[in-house]
């Protein structure tokens, strides 16, 4: 099932980060086995002028996937905007995953700075993928500015806790039925990714859960299969939960035994 982001159709709803892998070969294998369609990259590492940075950028290019630069580690509007402009030059794309971090322990987005930075970047021609919370008011402001994608967190970055606020994510989906939603951050297990897709999310962005697994390539493939299963289940229209039991075998026509 293809997904469209800013007019670009992606063959897979899985987006993978490129940091923390044990080796370049394992990173490439994770992309190959999962068939991820997007690679997120951080300018602060990949733009390095040393040979290691250049080799890494060549590896990312060889993956033959869409590149989504990010402003990871930025804590102010100025820092995020400057990093985004540099990333556009280095990676030759108007796509930017916009992060403005506001709290150190949870790495929670600074929603005020996020909105301000998004406004500036959209006016400068960027296609912004904002890393945000499930807050409906913030989401509405971002969409009103011109964001055609929202990337709510599931849980704090790298925590592996899964979906901390299912109600909030479900409400976000209901309020913005036409906006692509990408769960970004906090997933640790394929089952959590399946749950997100069952809620109607459009894609999943992962890094730590794959890169730090005992077998990253195998874990990447497991996530890809779970995402497909969750997406298939959502399109099948799942049954609604009910408070009382309902027998799967009807009583009508059942033989009476004495």
pLDDT value for 48: 46
pLDDT value for 254: 64
Binding-site residue numbers are 158, 185-186, 207-208
Convert 183-217 to b/e letters by CB count within 10 Å (16 or more is b): bbbbbbebebbbbbbbbbbbbbbbbbbbbebeebb
Catalytic residue among 35, 97, 141, 212: 97
Instruction: Give the DSSP per-residue string, the chain.
Output: --EEETTEEES-SEEEE-SS-S-HHHHHHHHHHHT-SEEEEEHHHHT-SSHHHHHHHHHHHHT-SEEEEE-TT--SHHHHHHHHHHHHHHH--SEEEE--B--TTT--B-HHHHHHHHHHHHHTT-EEEEEE-S-HHHHHHHHHHT---BEE-SSSTT-----S-HHHHHHHHHH-TTS-BEEES---SHHHHHHHHHTT--EEEESHHHHTSSSHHHHHHHHHHHHHHHHHHHHT-PPPP-SS---SS-STTPPP--
pLDDT bin (cut points 50, 70, 90) of residue 174 is: very high
pLDDT value for 53: 62
Question: Do 180 and 163 touch, CB atoms closer than 8 A?
Answer: no
> Among this protein's residues, is 97 annotated catalytic?
yes
pLDDT tens, 11-63? 999 999 999 999 999 999 999 999 999 999 987 655 544 555 667 888 888 88
Distances (CA, A) of 152 to 2, 16, 131: 20, 16, 6
Q: In what order do the strands lie in the sheet with 151-152?
A: 151-152, 127-132, 95-98, 66-70, 38-42, 14-17, 203-206, 182-184
Indicate the angle between helix axes 77-91 and 111-123, nearest 10 degrees: 40
Give pTM, 2 decimals.
Answer: 0.89
User: Among 10, 30, 13, which Cα is nearest to 227's?
Assistant: 13
Least confident stretch, 14-23, 186-195, 225-234, 247-256: 247-256
pLDDT value for 61: 85
Say yes or no: domain 9-234 is CATH 3.40.50.2300. Answer: no
Question: Do 150 and 172 touch, CB atoms closer than 8 A?
Answer: yes
Ordered by start, the domain boundaries in the chain are 9-234
pLDDT value for 186: 93
Q: Which range, 47-61, 123-137, 240-254, has the best average confidence (pLDDT)?
A: 123-137
Binding-site residue numbers for 1-deoxy-D-xylulose 5-phosphate are 158, 185-186, 207-208
Mean residue pLDDT of the chain comes to 91
pLDDT at residue 192 tops 90: yes
């Amino acid at each position: 099932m293809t997904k469209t982001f800013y007019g670009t159709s992606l063959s897979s709803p899985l987006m993978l980060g490129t940091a923390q892998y044990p080796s370049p070969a394992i990173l490439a294998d994770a992309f190959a086995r999962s068939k991820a369609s997007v690679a997120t990259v951080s300018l602060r590492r990949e733009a390095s002028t040393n040979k290691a940075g250049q080799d890494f950028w060549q590896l990312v290019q060889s993956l033959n996937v869409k590149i989504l630069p990010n402003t990871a580690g930025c804590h102010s509007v100025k820092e995020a905007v400057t990093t985004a402009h540099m990333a556009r030059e280095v990676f030759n794309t108007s796509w930017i995953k916009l992060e403005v971090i506001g709290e150190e322990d949870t790495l929670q987005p600074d929603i005020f700075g996020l909105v301000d930075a998004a406004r500036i970047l959209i006016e400068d021609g960027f296609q912004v993928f904002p890393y945000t919370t499930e807050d409906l008011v913030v989401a509405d402001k971002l969409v009103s500015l011109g964001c055609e994608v929202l990337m709510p967190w599931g849980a704090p970055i790298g925590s592996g806790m899964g979906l901390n606020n299912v109600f909030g994510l479900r409400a976000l989906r209901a309020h913005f039925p036409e906006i692509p939603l990408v769960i970004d951050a906090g997933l640790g297990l394929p089952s959590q990714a399946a749950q997100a897709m069952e809620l109607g999310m459009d894609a999943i962005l992962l890094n730590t859960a794959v890169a730090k697994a005992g077998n990253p390539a195998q874990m990447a493939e497991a996530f890809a299969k779970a995402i497909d299963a969750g997406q298939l289940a959502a399109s099948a229209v799942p049954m609604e939960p009910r408070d009382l039991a309902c027998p799967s075998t009807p009583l009508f026509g059942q033989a009476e035994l004495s």
